[in-house]
Chain A
């Protein structure tokens, strides 16, 4: 994307007035998407986004500038601006020399989406629409979206790093509206991988559409969700969102450093039930949060955060790690070249336990079974978090019974982690997600087996 010589000269401009660290992050992103709604292919879109962000660190201050102009002049202007922004204190002058040009990693993508005709992509949408509507006349609306993106990045810095990555992601989702005597209900299904068009070897869009439709139809007979504290069983895959919110964000070193996490200062302590081992793993090939290097050039890694209930480590980016005199854990990510990197999750999961999922439900006299989750939110300083249930049922006398309407559940991370008392043997990854933090969205994955929390507050309206 950029010649090593040009990178060297740009970094030299960034360091000219004295800096502890300078970095150039260049990105070239191409994306395509197509949207069907109301029976029509409404939108076929292509996009191109290319530019570089330059970061200069002087003491405690980071200066940052970005530009869409990748010529020598454009880069020098951005480097100068970043250096000026960082110049709050004096720093030592250093000469920059990047040379170790890494061999680009071989692309693991089998079918590059850019080689697939647009008509083939559009055909997926119409097939999903037809399949959803074929489930019955109660399905009154269908929308479907196909999207792919190829993101090539280059990272070089004043420590001599010069590396690159080529990330391809493909996503498909379908949403249905069902209409009945009780009003309208919605159902959604999505699939996404860090992979090319071979995504559709694993996922049948017609099957996805039927599942989304069924979800909406089921909810037409849903009753109001209960309210108050009760046992909650979360089905396979779905529980990942729970951990993402209950403790994932709280284990990000930037929040920990500012004492904005309930998990600050708790390394080595028991923070969860002994059966809980939580891992963040950016190396899981093909998963939605997978990559070769993070957005600071550090290779993705598998990091054990909680081992048998004991907190073992936080997640780190370069800046936070440098202050602690340790290495980054490969969790420095950014939405685009227009953003500063910060600590982010990748694929966060809990491994299999040994319980049979059916036994977990049978062993629950009353409560709620959550089959599909719809995202969440956490206040890391208090640990309070919510997550939404988009498909859920009552558990009565050890059996899954009536569907219930949508709503949030609320809990407190440290409490909930110790209240996990059953883990199934049916591990699955959940739906592809976009994690938001400080205004930046990045793709993340998560997974769990079926699990039970002995008490969580269900935010419904029924007594």
Chain B
């Protein structure tokens, strides 16, 4: 490795004059992405990228600039640009960069040299194997829309003029297939994936089988009549729902009057079976990280315990404004963005029964295996919730005919209160939440 990223960040921070606070975030990654199609490599991408984001707070005014390069001239230009930008921000007494808070970062080992040592030919073989396994899993699978292997080796460092100096590195890889299954004129699709810190943890067999199963079980799906029923969310769907719930619990939404739960602290906001924590120190989480995007230690934040709201998430700015401490919940979309507040690794405490056991108690329901339009039909401010859904009807305790082209709708507030059971099948998914089966009563399914 050439010059360490932390050295670069600290050098830029060193340019701060009196009365100027600086945060430098420097990141670098190396990626490989391979797409298999028709038994051949359709595309193979190898790429490295790096960059810096500089945030400056002067006299309570904030400015930011970024650049996708780390040469000396670029660093200086970026610093100067951020400094100039700070002239135009509004004065905000709470604006500032992070300072050490005494919380020791968790000891997480998220870097695997096995990934770095894994050869390109072996990666190609994995992608080809994924396509093969997907097609072989069921005779009705006619092919794939895509079968990808991807990996990343990522490192980042943050330094501030108030003494923060932190860095982290990690590896990650995944296989993901989108299958096409056909029966007569009808086609259905399904995805399957496998994630790990290094390729030895991946299973093409499992990802392919999942992709095939998700597509084939929808063959023959039809629209259903509109009715109210109990929905059982697949772990993947639950994880996506948790992402929305997490957004409503951000200190930023609370302070700026955009949170449904702003005035509900210590009140019951969910069913008593709901216990939700955000914990990026959990090494099993795909998004585990010992430090947050401002360089502070991440920590376990109990958000909802037995249905009762216990905490909101805060970064340095929102914590100062609210008069509390940061929960180590600063997130950012790479070096091009300023830090904001967000959930990092949400996890519901699992229950005791499997999905099949939960389904066996439901007379009239819908097992939801996929949802669409979370960005277009869900409003985290008003709470309106309406998404496209596909899955299997549940009749008399068993899964029955496949359903498509329906929506399921409620409100975020009601969904949490109407949870009847959390499954035992907790699994970490390639997103900032763990999946688990979730049963929710009294949801409207709109169809014919």
> How far does the alpha carbon of A410 sit from the alpha carbon of B448 in the complex, in Å?
11
Interface 1/0 per residue, A32-69 and B, CB below 8 Å: 00101111111111111111000000011111111111
Q: In the complex the two chains form, is B67's CB within 8 Å of A48's CB?
A: yes
A260 at interface by CB-CB < 8 Å? yes
Contact A408/B377 with A141-B257, A459-B407 known, Cβ cut-off 8 Å? yes
A388 — which chain B residues lie within 8 A by C-beta? 373, 375-377
Interface 1/0 per residue, A373-405 and B, CB below 8 Å: 111110101101111100000000000000001
A183 — which chain B residues lie within 8 A by C-beta? 260, 382-383
Contact A60/B47 with A34-B88, A42-B62, A406-B384 known, Cβ cut-off 8 Å? no
Q: In the complex the two chains form, is B379's CB within 8 Å of A406's CB?
A: yes
- Whose C-beta in chain A lies nearest to the C-beta of B65? A46
Number of chain A interface residues as a range: 35 or more
- Whose C-beta in chain B lies nearest to the C-beta of A70? B69
> How far does the alpha carbon of A409 sit from the alpha carbon of B388 in the complex, in Å?
8
Interface 1/0 per residue, A3-35 and B, CB below 8 Å: 000000000000000000000000000000010
B41 at interface by CB-CB < 8 Å? yes
Contact A384/B404 with A85-B46, A141-B257, A407-B409 known, Cβ cut-off 8 Å? yes
> How far does the alpha carbon of A461 sit from the alpha carbon of B377 in the complex, in Å?
13
Contact A41/B90 with A140-B257, A183-B383, A219-B382 known, Cβ cut-off 8 Å? yes
* CB-CB contacts below 8 Å: A80-117 with B: 81-82, 85-86, 88
Contact A118/B409 with A62-B44, A225-B386, A340-B43 known, Cβ cut-off 8 Å? no
Q: In the complex the two chains form, is B43's CB within 8 Å of A61's CB?
A: yes
Q: In the complex the two chains form, is B373's CB within 8 Å of A141's CB?
A: no
Contact A408/B387 with A40-B92, A386-B372 known, Cβ cut-off 8 Å? yes
* CB-CB contacts below 8 Å: B352-404 with A: 372-373, 375-377, 379, 381-384, 386-388, 390, 404
A326 at interface by CB-CB < 8 Å? no
Q: How far is the CB of B159 from chain A (nearest CB, A)?
A: 20
B143 at interface by CB-CB < 8 Å? yes
Q: In the complex the two chains form, is A259's CB within 8 Å of B180's CB?
A: yes
Q: In the complex the two chains form, is A122's CB within 8 Å of B88's CB?
A: yes
* CB-CB contacts below 8 Å: A210-246 with B: 219, 225, 227-229
Contact A48/B66 with A375-B375, A381-B189, A386-B407 known, Cβ cut-off 8 Å? yes
* CB-CB contacts below 8 Å: A171-189 with B: 177, 179, 183-186
Residue of A386, A388, A408 with most chain B CB atoms under a 10 A cut-off: A408
Majority SS of interface residues in chain A? strand
B260 — which chain A residues lie within 8 A by C-beta? 183-184
The one of B68, B88, B410 in contact with A50, judged by C-beta atoms closer than 8 angstroms, is B68
> How far does the alpha carbon of A388 sit from the alpha carbon of B378 in the complex, in Å?
8
Q: In the complex the two chains form, is B42's CB within 8 Å of A47's CB?
A: no
Q: In the complex the two chains form, is A408's CB within 8 Å of B407's CB?
A: yes
Interface 1/0 per residue, A411-429 and B, CB below 8 Å: 1100000000000000000
- From B78-86, B201-209, B325-333, B426-434, the one touching the partner chain is B78-86
A338 at interface by CB-CB < 8 Å? yes
B384 — which chain A residues lie within 8 A by C-beta? 405-407
Residue of B63, B66, B382 with most chain A CB atoms under a 10 A cut-off: B382
Q: In the complex the two chains form, is A405's CB within 8 Å of B382's CB?
A: yes
Q: How far is the CB of A71 from chain B (nearest CB, A)?
A: 10
The one of A49, A69, A407 in contact with B67, judged by C-beta atoms closer than 8 angstroms, is A49
> How far does the alpha carbon of A62 sit from the alpha carbon of B43 in the complex, in Å?
4
A34 — which chain B residues lie within 8 A by C-beta? 88
Q: In the complex the two chains form, is A457's CB within 8 Å of B187's CB?
A: no
Q: In the complex the two chains form, is B382's CB within 8 Å of A381's CB?
A: no
Q: In the complex the two chains form, is B373's CB within 8 Å of A387's CB?
A: yes
- Whose C-beta in chain A lies nearest to the C-beta of B386? A407
Chain A: residues with CB nearer than 8 A to chain B? 34, 36-51, 59-69, 81-82, 85-86, 88, 118-119, 122, 140-141, 177, 179, 183-186, 219, 225, 227-229, 255, 258-260, 262, 338, 340, 373-377, 379, 381-382, 384-388, 405-412, 438, 457-461
Chain B: residues with CB nearer than 8 A to chain A? 37-38, 40-51, 62-69, 74, 77-78, 81-82, 84-90, 92, 120, 124, 142-146, 180, 187-189, 223, 226, 255-258, 260, 336, 338, 372-373, 375-377, 379, 381-384, 386-388, 390, 404-410, 444, 446-448
